[in-house]
Each structure stands twice: as C-alpha cells, then as structure tokens.
Amino acid sequence: MNTSQERSMREAVRAKGSGWEIWIASLGCLLGSSLLILAFQLYQDSNRFFEEQVSPSNFFTLNKKIQGGALVNMGKGEKTFTQDELNQIEKMDGVMRTGGFTRNKFPLTLYIWPSGKVGLGAAAKTDLFFESIPDEFLDFIPEEWNWDENSSTVPIIVPKFYLDLWNFGLAPSRVEYPTLSNEAATGMPIELFIGNNREVTLEGRFVAFSKRINSVLVPESFLSQANEKYGKPDAGQYFFLWKDGAVDGPPRTLGFLQGLTEEQKQNGEASPISSPAEKKPILEILEVQTSDTHLPSRIIVQIEGSPSDAFVAELGAKGYEINREFPEQDLVKKITNVVFLGMAIIGVLFSISSIATFATSFRLLVTQASEPATNLLLLGFSSDSLTKLFFLRFVLIFAPVFLLALALGAGLQYELCKIGKNVGIEVESGLSIPTFVFAFAYCIVFLVINRMTIEKSVKKLSD
C-alpha cells in the first residue's frame, strides 16, 4: 500500500465526534501513567534509602522488661538473661546469632570538648556508661577501633542519633555548643573520668556513629580490662543477713558475703534487699551470683529478614523488650510502602479507567466509521489493514501522552528529591532502569489491550 493510498484510507474512515472521550481518556492515561511510574520509582527510592540510611531491621537488641518505679527497682540487681533463656532465644525460628553486651562496672563521667581542645570553651559534661559487643555485630569496624594497654585514646562508637540530638537539640539551645559534622565530632577530645571521685582520667574519642547499635560502645578489650582494674564486682547488689530469724544489721554487699568464713557461709542465710522474704543459704546465693556474673542483661540478635509480628509477639510473651528504634523504622517503612501502594492503586485505577475509556472511544470510533470501514472491507482490504489503520491512530495519541507521563513522573520525582534533600533525605534523582522496564511493560499492556479491542471491533464489521 502506498502513502497516498494510506492517506486516502485514513481520510475515508475519519469519523467526526468522540473527540472529547479521547481527550478524557488521554488525560486519565496521563495521570494514571504518571502516578504509576512515580509510585514505582519512589518505592525503589524509599527502599534504597532505608537500606542505605537506616539500620537493617534484622539486627535488634533485647533485654528483659523493667517494670515499677525507681524506688521499687532501687537495689535490685541487673535483670540478666539466664543461660537457658539465651539458649531458647538462639533456638527461635529465624535467629541467626546472638551476642551479649558487657557493661562497665565502674562510675564514669565524660567531658566532651566541642571546641576541639581540652580546656578551651565549655565542655559538655555527662555521667555515662560504656558497653561492648563482639566486633562481628558492628555495622563496620573503624580503623581506630583497636585498643591495647599502650593505646593513649579509648575509641568510642555512639549511635548516629546522638549526633543528631546534639545538632538538632542541644547545640541550637546552647550558644557555647557548635553544631558538628561527622568529621568535627570525631575530632573532639573527650576526657573520661573513672571512679566516684574521678580517680583515673583517660582520653577518649568518637571514632564512628553506628546506625545499628543503640548504645555507647568501646572495644571489648578495653572494657574487660577496665572492669577488672576499676570495677566493683558487687556493685548494685545488696543483701540482708539473717540471724536467729531476724535481719542482722544493715544491707551487706556481695563482697561482704564472699568475705565470710566458710562456716558462716554454710550456716548463714541472706536475702536480696529487693525481696527480703526470699531467704536462701549464703552459699547458694554466692553460687548463683558468681555463675551469673558473665551473663548479659542485654543482647544483640541477628535474624533472617525483618522480625515478623509473630516473632515480636513471642519475645513479648517471654517478657523481653525489643529495642524500640527498629520496629519504628519498620513502621515508617511500612507506612511509606502503604503510601506508595495507595499511589500505585490510584494509578492503576486511573490507568484501568483510561484503558476502558480509550477502548470505548475507539470502539465508538470504529462504529462511527463503520460505513466507510465496511466499504473498504468490501473492496477487498483486509481486516488486519483496517485494524492497523485505527491502531496507528491510537498510537499517535497514546505515544505522546505516554512520553509526557514519563516526563511528568521524572519531573515530580526530581521535585520530591529536592524537597527530600531539604529535610535530610538524600535520594538520587532520575528514573531508574527498572522503572523504565516497568514503564515499557505497562506501555505494552496498554497497547496490546487497545489493539485487541480495535481488532475485535473491526472483526465485527467484517462478520
């Protein structure tokens, strides 16, 4: 078929009317396609962002729930996990490994010098704690993480949000504290004072900011040595000593119990001050306390994938508490996904109605042109050539609308990236390859459905 003949054919079947239906279908197609493309792209962007910026949800820390007020808990020892409990946790479905937190057993005070020099300007002073975990649970191991007896500085890792709290909470409220970049924060000198009367002074430095561990971490080697050197094994554990059915004197430390004679240990009874009625032989108390000293009160758990609701419920039922950030991050992720799913659903609805409107419009178009179209068929033109004719007309409308939808999707994503950047969410702008593949597949579906509709309408004419 030559060009002038094609033009004549197009002219012959040109039908008046149905213009506004096609405009509505085009608008629906534009909105639906843009929304779908944008939702698909933002879904990927948010997933990438959560993967890069937010702690992986398959790591979380676990401790036993602490209940009651300060007075109730005063004098109670740490709620450590028993060996049985640790074994049970390790056996739970999806648990890959666990690691215990070790805590400092000595009073600790920090002076942080944001000016970069000790003694210059104001120091941020705080009582603090240190914990350590096996290195394999760290997000990454900083170069300065090694510590031995000859090291002059204690490397410290703090959660990333501590720095955020400093920058967005503390610094704006205190003129003497500057806001800090990661680099500036790692350059701050820190004085560590150990002991109630600050008997020992050490130098420290932040070496990294963790997105995974919600604690102030120092190397295991430092903490075990410091605990041994400066720690008090009986810190926080006091017992009533019983004699002749009555409490004998003030609360005593574990060290005091350990210092009793063998005879006193065998015959004497004691009870923790948190539950004075629970009298037990001193020997038994010493046995339990000694064996429990190496058991952690907080553990880090790595599981396969995100914790399921059932998994979280099982831990809750056992009286354990999952550290709060990660489920919340999951919640944010879930909410974001729901938003994108909503966008995608609206996009799909728009697209479906647009496909339906296009299909109806073109069915109408074929019907309106039924007389000349039938005449062409009677002259011997094939229904295929007529289908092509109408389909080409559809493509000429759909192609620019689809390209515009791609551009609109990309433009909106670019603008959202700019807004995101202003609130600290860095996402690469531009449509990804998977989005283009998705858009291409979507385009094919759109074309195929409309081609089938046109084909069916033309076939009806030839029957």
Partner 1 sequence: MQIELQSLRPYPIPDKFIPKSEVWEKNLHIESGNKCLLAAQSGKGKSTLLHVLYGLRSDCSGDALIGDRSVFSNTPSEWEEIRKTKVSLLFQDLKLFPKLSARENIELIPQTNLKATPIDEMLTKVGMEQFVDQPVEQLSFGQRQRIALLRSLRKPFELLLLDEPFSHLDKENTVRACQLIEETVERNQASLIISSLGDEPPLNFDGRFSL
Interaction site with partner 1 (CB under 8 A): 1, 4-5, 8-9, 11-12, 14, 372, 375-383, 385, 462-463
Q: Own/partner pairs for 248-254, CB < 8 Å, 24+ apart?
A: 251/75, 254/286, 254/289
Of 321, 249, 253, residue with least CA distance to 289: 253
* Contact residues for 91 (Cβ-Cβ < 8 A; gap 6+): none
Q: For residue 246, which phi and psi values (nearest 5 degrees)?
A: -135, 155
Q: CB-wise, 184 or 392, nearer to partner 1?
A: 392
Output the smallest distance, CB 446 to partner 1, in A: 28
Q: CB-wise, 373 or 431, nearer to partner 1?
A: 373
Output the smallest distance, CB 383 to partner 1, in A: 7
Output the smallest distance, CB 395 to partner 1, in A: 22
Question: Angle at Cα 76 formed by Cα 234 and Cα 236, nearest 5°?
Answer: 25
Output the smallest distance, CB 461 to partner 1, in A: 11
DSSP-derived 3-state class of residue 238: strand
Side-by-side strand order, sheet with 153-159: 124-127, 108-112, 190-194, 200-210, 153-159
Task: Tally the C-alpha atoms within 13 A of residue 416's C-alpha that lie toward its C-beta.
Answer: 17
Output the smallest distance, CB 450 to partner 1, in A: 23
Output the smallest distance, CB 12 to partner 1, in A: 4
Q: CB-wise, 279 or 393, nearer to partner 1?
A: 393
Q: CB-wise, 317 or 378, nearer to partner 1?
A: 378
Output the smallest distance, CB 43 to partner 1, in A: 46
What Rg do the C-alpha atoms of the chain give, in angstroms?
A: 36
DSSP state at residue 381: -
Runs of H (alpha helix) within 130-231? 160-165, 171-173, 182-186, 220-230
Q: CB-wise, 58 or 385, nearer to partner 1?
A: 385
Q: CB-wise, 2 or 261, nearer to partner 1?
A: 2
What does the block give as tokens for 81? 């996990």
Q: CB-wise, 1 or 66, nearer to partner 1?
A: 1
Output the smallest distance, CB 390 to partner 1, in A: 16
Q: CB-wise, 267 or 375, nearer to partner 1?
A: 375
> CA of 43: how far to CAs of 199, 211, 279, 407, 411, in Å?
55, 22, 60, 18, 16
